[in-house]
Chains A and B, each alone.
Chain A
Amino acid sequence: MANIKRSPWLLHYDGSSCNGCDIEVLACLTPVYDAERFGVMNTGDPMQADIFLITGGINTQNQSVVKQLYDQMPRPKVVVAVGVCACTGGVFKDCYNILGGADTTIPVDIYVPGCAARPQSIIDGIVQAVELFQKRSEEHDALVKSKKPA
């Protein structure tokens, strides 16, 4: 079984947030926290991404964007909601245009709480996501194998 969890590539999307969590996500990739030591790369391209990091809530305007980004990612994929905004809508929850957390639109696997989520907990979330990614990949392999004509 290939160890594909060694190479998780991130796609970061900033929803309806205050940008606090986005700064923290970027902080994870700076030399101080160095997420690249886990093989993590920040790619801006959904076609090349494995883990979808979403910060901020979903509003009426970005819902279709989030949905499309998710659909463009090839399987196996994992979604991580970073910050309470992405988990539930957070402080913006009662706004007229907010639909709620990321799970109103796409299936979320890992919730990283915090306002703003600390880099440590974000990295912890990514590490958990990576484990899940490996599991999904094995399931995906089994699926591909079962579909192939013997």
Chain B
Amino acid sequence: MNVFLGVLAYIVLAPIVGGLLQGMDRKISARMQRRVGPPLLQPFYDVIKLLKKQVITVSTSQTFFLLTYLALMILTGAMFYTGMDILMCFFVMSTSATFLYFASVVTSSPYATIGANRELIQMMTYEPAVLLACVGFYLAEGTFNVGEIVQTRFSNIIFLPGFFIAFVFILTIKMRKSPFDLSASHHMHQELVKGLTTEMGAQNLAIFQIAEWYETAFLIGVVGLYIVNANPVSIVAAVVVVLLVYFLEILIDNTSARMKWEKMLNITWLVTLFTAGVNLLVLMLVR
């Protein structure tokens, strides 16, 4: 029963949190560029508008793929916040990302296809750090179970600083932020048009947007997991850290230009190896 309520709360609250964070993102970005910027609730206005527009679909199966993407994304977060296996959460997330890839390539539009291929490369790039994050939690706590990880006496970041850095690094890729916004350019028209989302209009784009909110809600949850411990006060600390990390992402987004994928792959794997890898070695030696 409790699990059921938790899932329900997550389904309702996650998009609100994700949307607000995105609104904050746009506001802070604007302030960084010395602009007034859109209202905080802008992402919600956008989605409402998208839902009301005429539906033109290039390929009817796209809606199905996107809905599956959304459903799996919700499942990921729901499993995470109800304290289930973190490894399983990431597997489900990867599966959902595959459906996003399909949603893009079924249109056979050149821009969408380039975006989709780049999305696959991005997945390949962040996957090692994600898997290592799970391994890190297991080494530190002896369990993959989120519900048990949060019962720890000391915050996990004390044992896993390297894993934390690696995860924050790949967060930029996962959120499709500059310099790693290879698959879908968020700002203005560029060589990619809109990359991954080029052929998504109206309703479909709204589904994509909502799935992104759920994704954000899940990802910040994982960041928080490094901080939370048995003491309830740590939740406040986790929220502060999450907000700081998010601010860092916005700062990076606004101060860097897009990279080529080779460079992204090299840098990310190097960072993963040197932070998470070294952390892993140390943990294994100490234990």
A residues adjacent to B (C-beta < 8 A): 2-4, 6-7, 9, 12, 29, 31, 34, 36-39, 41-45, 47-48, 50, 72, 74-76, 137, 140-141
Q: Does B179 belong to the interface (CB within 8 Å)?
A: no
> Within the complex, which residue of B26, B34, B45, B189 is in contact with A3, where a contact is CB–CB below 8 Å?
B45
Report the separation of the CA atoms of residues A45 and B56 in the bound assembly, to the nearest whole angstrom. Answer: 13
> Within the complex, which residue of B30, B39, B188, B194 is in contact with A34, where a contact is CB–CB below 8 Å?
B30
Contact partners of B188 in chain A: CB under 8 A: 29, 42-44
Number of A-B contacts (CB under 8 A): 91
Q: Does B263 belong to the interface (CB within 8 Å)?
A: no
> Within the complex, which residue of A4, A44, A48, A141 is in contact with B201, where a contact is CB–CB below 8 Å?
A48
What is the interface residue range for chain B against chain A?
A: 20 to 34
Interface of B is mostly: loop
Contact partners of A36 in chain B: CB under 8 A: 26, 30, 35, 37-38
B197 → chain A closest CB, angstroms? 8
- Interface bits B192-203 vs A (CB < 8 Å: 1, else 0): 011001111110
Q: Are B48 and A2 closer than 8 Å at their CB atoms?
A: yes
- The answer to whether A39 and B205 touch (CB under 8 A), given A47-B198, A74-B54, is no
Q: Are B37 and A44 closer than 8 Å at their CB atoms?
A: no
- Interface bits B12-34 vs A (CB < 8 Å: 1, else 0): 00000000000000100010011
A104 → chain B closest CB, angstroms? 25
Q: Are B52 and A7 closer than 8 Å at their CB atoms?
A: no
